[in-house]
Amino acid sequence: MEEALSQLHGFVAWGLALAEEYGIPSLIEAGLFFLFAGLALSFACGVIFFRNVVHSALSLTATFICVACLYIFIGADFMGAVQILVYSGAVAVLIVMAIMLTRRDDMSHSNPSRGLFRHAGAIVVSGLFFLSMAAVALLSPFKPTRPILGDAAPGLADLMLTHYVLPFEVAAILLLIAMIGAIVLAKGADER
């Protein structure tokens, strides 16, 4: 039994050395990044193109989750957790509840299409933007490095409560206004 386990261990070590030699871990890492980025973009397009507003809101939630996965992938675990808790959990649920509480008989055409010309224009402009960003990234003399974040929560809290306190408070007021707007929409015009 020991001999079989040592042979299996040797085979696994040989496979890992071969994978390192051909750069397979970096390929897997790049593949996962592009998978999450592609899913986030696909769900973001779903927010725009779905005709049903409930499907658009659920697609927005999936976009938030994919962005959280990208945060976790680059090593910003705290930001990923905040993205899931605040955006995927609170804001998206608030949007879905506000949509569900509004009185509509037929939700099949609640998110009307803006026309083919506008969609095509948006796709062309987005494509040009992404091509220009890819050209800048490929032609840049700087090589990307992964930052060593360590425990990012205390540093982030220090920045948010000292240098960036005004944008932090503005974001809180904006979320409060969004919540009040959702309550007003859910309450309806007849009950005011």
**What is the chain's Cα-based Rg?**
23
80 and 72 in contact (C-beta within 8 Å)? yes
Predicted local distance difference test score (pLDDT) of residue 43: 92
Task: Give dist(CA 34, CA 182) in Å, integer.
Answer: 35
Q: At what angle do helices 2-22 and 24-49 cross, to 10 degrees?
A: 70
What CATH fold (topology level) applies to the domain 2-131? Answer: Four Helix Bundle (Hemerythrin (Met), subunit A) (1.20.120)
Query: 13-33 pLDDT, tens per residue?
Result: 777 777 777 777 777 788 888
**106: Cα within 13 Å, side-chain hemisphere:** 4
Q: Report if pTM > 0.75.
A: no
Interval 166-181: pLDDT, tens = 877 888 888 888 888 7
Q: Quick one: which of 2, 111, 123, 10 has its CA closest to 56?
A: 111
Residue 95 predicted with pLDDT over 90: no
Amino acid identity for residue 134 in this structure:
A
Half-sphere exposure of 189 (CA within 13 A, CB side): 2
pLDDT greater than 70 at residue 110: no
Angle at 89 (CA atoms; ends 191, 175), nearest 5 degrees? 55
End-to-end CA distance of the chain: 78
Mean pLDDT of 86-103: 74
Spell out where the chain has E strands. none
- Asked if the model's pLDDT at residue 40 lies above 90, the reply is yes
Query: What is the model's pLDDT at position 153?
Result: 72
Per residue in 135-169, pLDDT (tens digit) is 776 776 666 565 555 566 777 777 777 887 887 78
What's the mean pLDDT when you consider all of the chain?
A: 77
Q: Name the percent of the chain lying above pLDDT 90.
A: 7
